Amino acid sequence: MKIDSILINGFKRLVQFSVDPVGRSIEISGRNGQGKSSVIDAIWCALTSKEVPGVPINDKSVSAKIVVGLDDGHTVRMEFKKKGKSLIVEGPNGEPVMKPVAYLENLIGKISFDPFAFVDDEPAKQKAFLHEL
């Protein structure tokens, strides 16, 4: 799986961000506080349907939107509003995926895990989790 496009509006430090890697690797660089981690957090949120710590909507926006296009033609859209979040996964022809969370879990696989939950776990649970992988 490769990411074909990323569009982020109003998420964390980002007012607007987009990139179309077109099959290439990209490098995200910049000074502290410029939004590098916000880009990574946005991709993680969209592809896992989970939230990261902190407020997802930046103080210049009323909502946050993340759109990730995948190389198989699927599109993942996650939107945050004051009253909650929504997740939509569309297939190559724009048809909605009926179980978007299950689709993402299958896409990402078992190797993916929530790093924040892992850090908060007791050392024995961390060890058991790593042995299971």
Whether the pLDDT of residue 114 is over 90: the answer is: no
Show Cβ contacts of residue 76 under 8 Å, excluding neighbours closer than 6 positions: 46, 47, 66, 67, 68, 70, 87, 88, 89, 100, 104
Give the pTM: 0.80
The pLDDT assigned to 89 comes to 97
Q: Tokens standing for 62?
A: 């009323």
How confident is the model over 2-59, as pLDDT tens digits?
A: 889 999 999 999 999 999 877 678 888 889 988 999 999 999 899 988 888 888 999 9
How confident is the model over 73-97, as pLDDT tens digits?
A: 999 999 999 889 999 999 999 999 9
